[in-house]
Each structure stands twice: as C-alpha cells, then as structure tokens.
A and B are shown apart, each in its own frame.
Chain A
C-alpha cells in the first residue's frame, strides 16, 4: 500500500512537472519577432476573449512562451500554446487597458534564444459574449451540409443553432441563411430555409413560427433582414438572383440580382408591404439606424435596353451595377417612410457599396465597397469603409483591410468591436476577424477568431459567413428548430400602400 501511494505521488509530481514551464535563465536575444501562426501581432483584444493560441513556425527543439504584463506572467512550453482558459481569463482581467508582451524562447543547438516580444493590447471594453455565423463550403451551386452555429467568444465552445441535415434528404436539399437578431438578443430572431421545407423561421417573444414571406405581389420571399430596434417590424430585401461564372478571373463567380426590392414585414399583422419597388432600381441590404427612425439601404440604377434579352443583358453589363447608399426616414407609429436621400454616391467614384451597418451610437456607417456588384464575398477588391455621419468623412479602413475579400461585417453592442469576414488567409475560405474600434473612430489591427488548435483553419475546408454579435445564446435546440421547420409555413398577406 505504501509503495502504491508513493508511486501515485511520483506520478503526480511528474505530471505537475510536465505542466509547469519556466522561462530559460540563459539565452541570447535575436532581435527579431518570432514567426507564429495565426499571426497575432500588435493586435488589440478584449479581456473576455478566448485564448489566442498560436504555433511557432520557426525551427527549434523546444519552445517556451511567456505572457507578461506589469510583472505578472503566464508561461507555457511547447511549439504551440493551449492556455488554460481560467488562467488566461484571470490574466487578461489584470491586463485590461494594458499591453501584454509575448516573449518567445526557442531552444536550438546553441542553447536558448529569445525573440523580440510580440505585443497584444487589451482593451478596456468587453466584446459581446456570443457570436453566430453560418458554416458553408465555398461552393457555387451545390451544397450539402450547412449550419448556423453560435460560439461563446470567451471559450472555444461552439454550438449548433440549426443544421440543414436535420431535414435534408439526398433528393431534397435544404439551404439555410440570413440568421438575424433584434437588438443582439435571441428572443427575437429569424433565419430562412430554402427549397426543402422552405420558409422563414421566426422566433418572437410569442413563440416560434414558420412563415412564407413570398406573396403574389412580390418577387421572392424575404432575403436580407433588418429587425426594427423598437417595433415589431423586419425590413427585408427581396431578390431574384442568378449567377454566372468567370472563365479566368480569380473572383470565380458573379452573383447578380435580376430584380430586387425592399419590403417591410409587420410581425403583429403578419403582412408585408413595399418600401422600395422601382423597376429601374435594384434595392438591397436594408438596415435600421439604432433609433429605428431611419432606414439605410443600397440601390443600383440600371436601365435595361433590351427587355427581350433582359437576363443576358444584366449578365453582360455586370460591371455597370454599382450600388449607392441611400436612406429614408421612418415613422414607426404610422409606418410611413420619407423620400430617399443619397448618402454615398459610390457610382460617381466608380465603386459599389454594400451592407451598410450603423454603429450602435448612430455615428458611424460601416459598409463594404468594391468595383461593382453586390455580392462582394467573391470580389477580391472588396474592402470595408466607414462614413462618419457627423463629419460626413468617408475613409477606407485600411487598418483592417487586406488584399483579399473583406465582406460581411457587424458592430458589437457597445460599438467597440467590429466582426467581419475575410479571405486574406488563403484566398478561398472566409474566416472571421475581429477589430477594436476606439472612441476616436479608429480601427485597430484585427485578429483571427481564435481556435483551440492554432492550425484549425488550415485544416478546415469551410467558410464562415454572416457573422453576428449576440449578448445571449440561442436556447432553442437544433432539433426543435427542425420540428418547426417540418411544419407548413404560414402565409403572409400583402398590403398595398
């Protein structure tokens, strides 16, 4: 018995020794930054983010990583880091508003070397505790498994919100998209299912229902949604969409609207009405100001010359579709809209603007801009831009943009964080990046959404899209959503003005 307990102590001590890392006492300094993946360098992070695990990509027999902030340190050995979440969070709490120095030590044939420290800045403000996104393979026509998932941003826990394979069959596939929340909360949310068991799944405080937003008077069911912040309305674009393929260009595909309008769905009355319905305008991407008194949207003006070959002409003139940003006032009590007002004449700049999103304080308009079109997820030149609505200043947010696609973006509920998709890592797969947005209106160096395995993204063959912040998780299970989607959709009524 004594022998056994001694053995236990020995094993325990060995295990403990294996977990405890110390910083080498003797080393030479290289004077260069270590090469790490993901390249988390000079980034600004929230104190409630999951550990920024990374791996060293330089040669070495052994590695030690030390996180240091004002005399406090967190040390780990190994070629990649996998911080204990509790220790990490406690450490970040102490680092709030300060800078963390990431000291890297690598052991080579001639002993230990120390690299120049990488700096991580920890913001004072937290980030919303949850995000959600759609996981989709970056294919063009086919799809098999699609899912909408939520991630607790302070950990690596990811949960399924809904997965289309719960209802898809080999012959009848189901597409899902456009998950959206009212005021960052999940008691009012929606997402669409297309094709098999199609409809819009609407969650309100009254319960869950499946609706069919397509009416005889509208060209499609609802597509891009925007929840009104104070009333039970959702503005949708409705789109008749087609796609064609580049034979050589790396953009690969053009997704174009053949027609589009904007509608308002009144949840309480279960009826839709037109907000924008002009045959010469391609209106899309509605979004509300935080006070709910202004609707922003994008629109491209196009006069078709040969209606007999309308679709072919739209395809051939794809570069001429350049979207401006407009807005119109809205009175939620009377449901009346004011006239359209041009906010950004992108066409005059030979550009096309997409996805306007207003910051929670109402001051900034964040949007995407590329040379043409409205499906910028495939456009290498698409970048994020910002308009200060007070000063009217427009600028390319170069701090966050890359040479590749930047597309769908969202503001955190406190307006201090921007979440967006980018193809910068490999040119083919969109990943999520988060950037700090300070009080002066400057964005900081963005960082890749951390994963437990630093090489997760290199092995993962799916894209993240439609990222949204939430302040609480979705609590309805995927199977419950499937049960609702398996029912007949409730038709909505069309109300003409």
Chain B
C-alpha cells in the first residue's frame, strides 16, 4: 500500500514525470548518444580512427594468440586488437564501437538497477570509456597497452558481465562465481576481474541478502590472493604489476595524472554506484526534479567530452597529412598544411617539404606555408621518429633507417600494421625479398591488408616491378648513394638536413640535388647553400631557377660578398621584391626585430611567403 502511495505521489508532484512514461528513455538516450558519437567519429575523426588501426595488429594465428596470453589480461588485448582493426573502415569500426557502448549502457542499467528516469546516469561509463579512447592523442604512438583503444571497453564489459553473473547466481553459487571470476577472469581480463570482484563485494554488502559478509570477504581475499597465486604461473610479469595488469600502461606519476582521470572515474563507478540511492528500500524512485537532474547529467557528460576529447589542431593535421601522403595525395597533404592557423610542428613542416619535393614545387612554394616548430601538445617526450619519421626516412630513401626504427618501435611498443608496411617496402627496395616476404605473409593474414600485401608480393616475384611502382619510382632517385656507417641519434630531421645538405657523393640525381638545396635553405648555412645551389644549377641546367632559390641567392650574395651574383639571371620580379624588402627592412628595422611580434607581423604580411622572412624571423626552432 505504501508503495502505491509513493507512485501516486510521483505522478502528482509538480515537475515530475512518472516512471512509466520514461520506460523508453534509456533506449532513446542510448541511441541518441550512440548516434552522436558515431557522427562525431565520422565527421571529425575518421583519419584518426584509421591511424589507430594502422597502429595496431591482429592476426588469426596461434603464435599471435599465445603471445597475448603470456600475461594476465591477454584475452582482453586479443579482443581489443581484433575490434580495433575494423577502423580500417571508420564507419564500420565506429558502428561496432558505439554498439558496444550501448551494451555497456544496458549492462550498467541491469547491474546497478538504474531506474528509467536516471537513464542518463547509465551513459556515464560509456562516456568515460569514450574519454579514455579519445584522450590519447600522441599516446597512440607510445602506449604499450595492446589494443588500448578498445581495452578498457572490453575490460569494463567483462567487469559488468561478471557482476551481473554474480548477481544472478543465488546462495552458494555466488561463492562459485567469485572463484570463477578470480580463477578464469583474472588470466583473461586481468585487473578488470579484480574490479568485478570488488564491485560485487560492495554490491553484495549493500544489496545482498544471504552471506553478505562471507561473500564480500571471499571477494576481497580473491582480489589479493589471485595475483599472488598466478605470479608463479606468469613468467614475464613483475610481482607488483600482477595487481594492475590490464590497466593502461600510463605512469602513476604527475605527468600522467590527467590521463588517469577518466580511467579512475570509470573504475570508481562500480564501486560507488551500489551506494547511490537511486531507489528507496521499498522500490520507490526518489522525487528529484527530472529536468534538473537530466540537464545536470547531460552537462556532466558534455563536460567530460569537452575536457578529455583530444583536439589539438597540429595533431589532427599530422594525422591527416599522413593519411594523404600514404595515398600519395601530395596536394591534399599540402592543403592540410595550408589550412593550419597555428604554428606548425616540425612534422607538419617536414611533411609539407616532402610533398613539395614530390610535386617538384619546393623551390617555388616551400615558404608559402606557416613555419616554425611548435612542440607537440603532449606531456610525453615525443620523438619525430615515432610520429612520422619512418615515412620521412622511407620517402627520403634511408631504407635501413626506416627499417631500423620500425623494428625498434615494434619491439618497444608492439607490432603494428604501419611498421610492417614500411618493412615490406624497405626490404624490397633494399634487395631483401625473403625478408619482405616474411612481412607480406603476416599482412596477408590480416583481415584488411591482404590486398595490399599481394600487390607487393608480386614485386618479390618480379623485382623489376619495383622501379615501375609509382611510389617507389619516386624514391629510387634518392636511393643513389653509397653505404656508410652512420647514426641519427634519434633525431631524424637533423640527420636528414645534414645528410642531404652535406652529402658530397658523386652519385647525385636532380631530385637528390633539390632535396639537398631544400635542406641547405632550412639550415641557413651560407657556404652549404652555395655548394648545394651550384650542384642544383648544374643538374637543372634547362630548368627555370625557382623563386625561393633565387631569393636565397640574392640574400646571401648581398649578405656575404663571397659569391659574385651580378651575372646571375634573376627574375625581374624577384629582384624588385628583394629591393623592396631591403628598403622595408631599413625602414622598419628595430633592435631584435626578429623577436618583436609587431615587426614580425608587419614583415609576415608583406614577405611571409619568402625565404627572407624565413631567414630572419623563423628562429629558435627545435626539432625532436
């Protein structure tokens, strides 16, 4: 009777909506959430999602499965990598992702018995999982967690499922379920099994009727004892790590504090939820104003998304450029660089230079873009090598170095499709067909790269196809050098600049000479420039001298009188503009003009697309 009274009171209260009318709210809220996430993914993140799957690998082989299972939580990594590969088709991949978020929502409602009117609350784990996936940014290149994009989703799904199983079990069966979660769940899902046990213990304390304390104690004992017992089974996991294995491989330090937040909130969710009074003991739903609560929850969800969804423009530009360059869409890559509104990272600048070199436009356009050296927006120590250096080495024909860094990073961060693709191509160009075949064989076993691998397999069988391949044909002119012992000290921009600008090999090609001259301009070293300039002029006798090279020759010829430029056939427009620049410089010259923001803007507006601006105003650039 009391219950009936409460229901009547709910219906009657002002600003209140009855539970019955809200029965479909969880469904609509879930679908709306899924639709929004799917749309955001496909509108703004499809290149990123594609990159995420390129930086993962799933294989249907026993060796691959066995290697995942060598550490607790191996099945989670296996499933996570399996799911990640579907981002090859971002629309399909994101559909699977949001579908699983809906399963999380459904299980959350079931496990925590969330009334329909609190449906938005059930979205919070999904939102937190989304935050975990989307906060990564540059972590995608460095994280050692296998299948990290999906791992917490898969892991949390297990946690919820295990808790649900625990709840469904009655009486003595609960003890058995606890043992099963510990004995079977821990090896397969690691920490997420422990989370399920703690969540179940707390839920049981709060809600359970029989053996509340006994079951809770067994759960706690299992959480402590299981990793200890399994330590003697797992032979490549530190004892201390046995308790956290399955969590993302971030540091427990100040550096990664922010990154941990959505994970921490996600882990707290099943521990806190049993104590949130969503229903009274008699089953009635407390009378909180529905709209107020709903607005609050929506605001919370949006705030989480806004705070943790990584949206750095430079990062996005790098990802997009990589996407286009991998497809040899050099002009589209340049369009991305052109659209940049903030100081670019060195990778964007280097990608832009490579694209221009490929298009033969470097001499006329390389200073038509924003330049500089913004550090990557990340607390991590990002290396250019990890985020794009391999592509640069490949296209600049440093095959051994590209191969080396693919292998080094594969060893440290795990094998990825991206690395394997470069290892196939570098092995082919280096004349190592058997090695190329090994990597081809692996890629042929993937779901989506079989076709790609088969294309290159033809080159193993017919090496003459290498020179006919559009991509490789554009690299071979730079592969004309003799072997030497060298090292890049993990700084590939510095290495490439010095290598090309200071290479005095007789084995040069017009493309090599152009790359050398571009590097000489970037180095701003005048003797190096003249050396490269004359080499370029020699190998491009019939071509028009591009504008930027003329600009540099005019500037250096006037700065230092070591080279007689009086007889050089400069374009009239370049010469007149240089004279104009000199007059403008005399007029606006102030002390430390190159570091004066106002003067810099003044010069940029007028000469921002010239080598002269680059020479005087692009300063203190640090590579990484």
Chain A residues packing against B (C-beta within 8 Å): 137-145, 147, 160, 163, 165-171, 244-250, 252-254, 315-316, 318, 425-429, 453, 456, 458-461, 477-479
Contact = CB atoms under 8 A, between A and B. Distances in A.
A252 B485 CA distance: 9
Contacts of A140: 404, 407-408
Contact of A166 (B64, B237, B488): B237
Given A247-B484, A456-B63, A428 B435 contact: yes
Interface stretch (B189-197, B216-224, B362-370, B436-444): B436-444
B438 A318 contact: no
A142 B437 contact: no
Task: State which size class the interface on B falls in.
Answer: 35 or more
A318 B236 contact: no
B432 A247 contact: no
Given A166-B238, A245-B400, A427-B432, A459 B412 contact: no
Contact of A160 (B236, B251, B427, B485): B236
B64 A459 contact: yes
Nearest to B484: A247
B515 interface: no
A426 B435 contact: yes
Contacts of A316: 485
A459 B65 CA distance: 11
Interface in B479-498: 481-488
B404 A252 contact: yes
8 contacts: A140-B404, A165-B236, A246-B486, A248-B481, A248-B483, A315-B485, A316-B485, A427-B432
Nearest to A425: B434
A425 B437 CA distance: 11
Contacts of B144: 144, 170
Contacts of B399: 248
Chain A at the B interface: mostly helix, strand, loop or mixed?
loop
A111 B400 CA distance: 49
Contacts of A163: 235-236
Contacts of B64: 459
A139 B409 CA distance: 9
Contacts of B235: 147, 160, 163, 166, 478-479
B56 to A, nearest CB: 15
B432 A428 contact: yes
Which of A138, A141, A168 counts the most B-chain CB atoms under 10 A from its CB?
A141
Contacts of B408: 139-142
A147 B144 CA distance: 19
Nearest to B406: A139
Contacts of B203: none
Given A142-B409, A427-B434, A428-B432, A459 B442 contact: yes
Interface string B484-526: 1111100000000000000000000000000000000000000
B483 A249 contact: yes
Contacts of A453: 62-63
Contacts of A138: 407
Contacts, number: 118
B431 interface: yes
B430 interface: yes
Nearest to A460: B63
Given A142-B408, A163-B236, A247 B438 contact: no
Given A147-B236, A426-B434, A245 B407 contact: no
B251 A250 contact: no
Ranked 4 nearest A-B pairs via Cβ? A248-B483, A165-B236, A459-B63, A163-B236
A458 B432 contact: no
A141 B144 CA distance: 17
Given A139-B408, A170-B249, A479-B232, 14 more contacts: A139-B407, A140-B407, A144-B411, A144-B412, A163-B236, A166-B236, A248-B483, A249-B483, A252-B400, A252-B403, A315-B485, A426-B438, A461-B415, A479-B235
A425 B484 CA distance: 27
A237 B251 CA distance: 38
Contact of B236 (A145, A254, A315): A145
Contacts of B432: 250, 427-428
A248 B476 CA distance: 13
A142 B412 contact: yes
Given A168-B238, A245-B401, A459-B64, A426 B485 contact: no
A143 B410 CA distance: 10
A254 B483 CA distance: 12
A245 B238 contact: no
A244 B486 contact: yes
Nearest to A459: B63
B231 A247 contact: no
B407 to A, nearest CB: 5
B400 A248 contact: yes
B485 A250 contact: no
Nearest to A165: B236
Nearest to A163: B236
A478 B238 CA distance: 11
A426 B435 CA distance: 5
Contact of B59 (A248, A456, A459): A459
B586 interface: no
B542 interface: no
Which of A163, A456, A461 counts the most B-chain CB atoms under 10 A from its CB?
A461
Nearest to A404: B434
B236 A244 contact: no
Nearest to B445: A459
B425 interface: no
B582 to A, nearest CB: 42
Contact of B410 (A137, A167, A245): A137
A247 B401 CA distance: 7
Nearest to A162: B235
B238 A250 contact: no
A246 B437 contact: no
